[in-house]
Amino acid sequence: MDRDLVERAMSGDHDAFSQLARASIGRLYGIAQLIVRDPDRASDATQEALVAAWRDLSALRDADRFEAWLHRLLIRACHREARMDRRRRAVEVHELPLDDTAGRDELPALHDRDQLERAFRRLGVEERAVIVLHHLEGFPLSEIAGILGIPIGTAKSRLHRGIRTMRATLDADARVIQIDRGRTA
Amino acid sequence: MRDGFDRTLVTWLASERPPREPDGLLRDVLATTAVTRRRPAWLVWDRWTWSASAVRVVRVVRVASAVALVGLLTAILWFVLTVVGGPRPATPFGLARPGFIAFDAEEGIVLTRADGSDRRTLSQGDGQAVNPTWSRDGLHLAYWHRSAETRSWDLVVVDEDGGNPVTVAHGLSLKARESTLNQPSNLSWSPDGERIAFAADVGDGSAIFVAELARAGPTLITDPRGRGLDPAWAPDGSVIAYQHSLTETLHAVAPDGTADRQLSDLRNTTLWPDWSPDGAQLLVTARVGSQYDIFAVSANGSIQVNVSDHPSDEFSPTWSPAGNRVAWARIPMDGSARAWVVTANPDGTNPVEIREPADLAPPGWSPDGTRIYSYVQAPDGTFQELIVLDPVGVEAVVRLPADGNIGNGNWQRRP
């Protein structure tokens, strides 16, 4: 991230902030989409994070930490969206889209993806955020701890808890599949 | 090191990530930010909490908060256990659960359950301790103590576990009782458990005093010329009955020393009057001719009934806690024992004579009214056993031996 742009944005230059937003919005949206698992909620979280960044940018003490701070704002926005989503889920029924074009040869891959999706959805936003930032964005745990403002031990435990939960879900699914296969054999 | 699952997860995450943001999202963001006012830096929470040092400070604050919370919970727990869940007072009159029996022996003040368990001895330094008397609520025990060096008595009050001793009166004597019974005055607690009435010498006479637990120094409430003895605090707390030795009549006086009056015209009364639990009447020992009998006197003194009405001499009446039975000591006419214990209805009907060789001291009732106790006379004339009895039978339930001449039993009331 261009330090000069950040400093100009910090001093109130909206054009500079526009360039920063353009450079980061795709990445932020991708992270948000992975965490909240809903395109509309991801858009809302991304927008909320960037608006908060502009509104509070003067409070940033170190321009070099702009990107980390932006991630922090995004994760916070995802938390908020997830809370609203839980409330909304009481009156709405979400259905995962079925890919009708998938051929029989692709079925195992699609099945795995569904299982991963189901396992990932079982995680809380905290675990999802750490997994996405670590495994996809490549942040080391120490940096994630810094972004989220939590002890590194907490970041580690969230990552391990998330992976363990996903593994357990996938193992349980695998047992169910074996039983089903046994019945149809 | 990433294992197979991690690689699968990364691949899946990458495949799930949208290639770009939705159309119009950047436009919306920039349109919104263009009209969004910046906040002053000092108003932004992250400025104060989002840095390595701030994280450490927050962590310290969190730890301090946790420690403070634990301290607060500990304090609450302590409060609950010691204040709310601490010793609860018994009702001052009526039936109650039995607690510890206290009596004096050579070893000191002995506390024991009626079955002899949990026995322990209270000692207040050296010297002699006598006449333990539980407060009506069962939370305190008062007794007289004198050291080996002095001949005068101190009135000591301890908590029910024997702790926290407080001397509420100091340097007293009562010749009229010490010369005949080898002990100072009886002790009579106020119903609220905050004051104690007793008698003590004043010049050539004796008077009734009231000592307050919360205040140093007892208050004299009767004229010493009346030679007051044997105070008995009424259940409603309004008056203290006492033996007016000068006239050998029963008197009553308000706890503040006012309204001292002769309670009844019953003559030749002596020794320890005892109020009924409802405060409607007193039992008192009086001499008729050459014989001592038990009389019931109404609280206003208008009615006097001889409830023992027996050729033997009878002394030391006590009410059962429910007020439905009374007990006293009877000297057998054949001289075979120093005394027996008699229980009867309050009007003297349905008497039961318990022929254990007992003391002339008042027999005591358990707070639940199911037991009665006295002291067994040994061949040498001393009383070295406290005996707990069935009040309608004759068999001893438990014998509680102790060294020396024991007496002055008193049974703790528990809620």
Percent of chain A, pLDDT > 90? 51
Q: What is the pLDDT of residues A69-115, one digit of tens each?
A: 999 999 999 999 888 766 555 444 444 443 434 334 434 465 678 88
Sorted by where each begins, the domain ranges of chain B are 25-86, 97-414
Give the residue from B293, B300, B304, B296 showing the smallest Cα distance to B323. B296
Contact A59 B39 (CB under 8 A): yes
CB proximity list for B349: less than 8 A, separation 6 or greater: none
Radius of gyration of chain B (CA): 35
DSSP three-state, residue B395: coil
Please report how the helices A141-148 and A152-184 are oriented relative to each other, as an axis angle in degrees rounded to 10: 110
- Which of B32, B44, B55 is facing A59, going by the closest CB pair? B44
Confidence at residue A91, expressed as pLDDT on a 0 to 100 scale? 44
Task: With beta carbons under 8 A apart, name residues in chain B contacting A96.
Answer: none
Confidence at residue B1, expressed as pLDDT on a 0 to 100 scale? 47
Among the residue ranges A136-140, B13-17, B57-61, the one predicted with the least confidence is B57-61
Task: With beta carbons under 8 A apart, name residues in chain B contacting A29.
Answer: 18, 20-22, 25
Q: How many CA atoms lie within 13 A of A48 on its CB side?
A: 17
Q: How would DSSP label each residue in B11-30?
A: HHHHHHS-SSPPTTHHHHHH
- What CA–CA distance (Å, rounded) separates B247 from B228? 10
Confidence at residue A85, expressed as pLDDT on a 0 to 100 scale? 64
Task: With beta carbons under 8 A apart, name residues in chain B contacting A61.
Answer: 47, 51
Confidence at residue A92, expressed as pLDDT on a 0 to 100 scale? 45
Task: With beta carbons under 8 A apart, name residues in chain A contacting B17.
Answer: 30-31, 33-34, 136
Helix (H), strand (E) at residue B183 = none
Tokens of B72: 């607060």
Q: What is the pLDDT of residues B379-395, one digit of tens each?
A: 676 777 777 887 776 66
Confidence at residue A94, expressed as pLDDT on a 0 to 100 scale? 42
Tokens of A177: 């599949």
Q: How many CA atoms lie within 13 A of A9 on its CB side?
A: 31
**pLDDT band per the 50, 70, 90 thresholds, residue B124:** low
Q: Which residues pair with B212 in a beta bridge?
A: B195
- Which of B10, B43, B44 is facing A136, going by the closest CB pair? B10
Confidence at residue B330, expressed as pLDDT on a 0 to 100 scale? 85
Tokens of B28: 């919306």
Q: What is the pLDDT of residues B326-377, one digit of tens each?
A: 988 888 777 776 777 888 898 888 888 887 766 666 788 889 888 888 877 7
Residue in the block written with tokens 């294992």 = B3
Side chain identity, residue B298: S
Task: With beta carbons under 8 A apart, name residues in chain A contacting B37.
Answer: 55
- Which of A12, A28, A33 is facing B38, going by the closest CB pair? A12
- What CA–CA distance (Å, rounded) separates A162 from A145? 16
- What CA–CA distance (Å, rounded) separates B368 from B95? 5
Q: Which residues of B, range 7-66, sit inside 8 Å of A by Cβ?
A: 8-10, 12-22, 25-26, 28-30, 32-34, 36-44, 46-47, 49-52, 54-55, 58-59
Percent of chain A, pLDDT > 70? 79
- Output phi, psi for B358, to 5 deg: -105, -175
| Entry pTM | 0.57
**pLDDT band per the 50, 70, 90 thresholds, residue A185:** very low
CATH among 3.90.1170.50, 3.40.50.920, 3.40.50.1100, 2.120.10.30 for B97-414: 2.120.10.30
Of B282 and A101, the one with more pLDDT: B282
Residue in the block written with tokens 């003559």 = B267
DSSP three-state, residue B225: helix
- Which of B13, B37, B47 is facing A61, going by the closest CB pair? B47
Which value, to the nearest 10 degrees, does the dihedral of the CA atoms of residues B39, B42, B48, B51 take?
Answer: 60
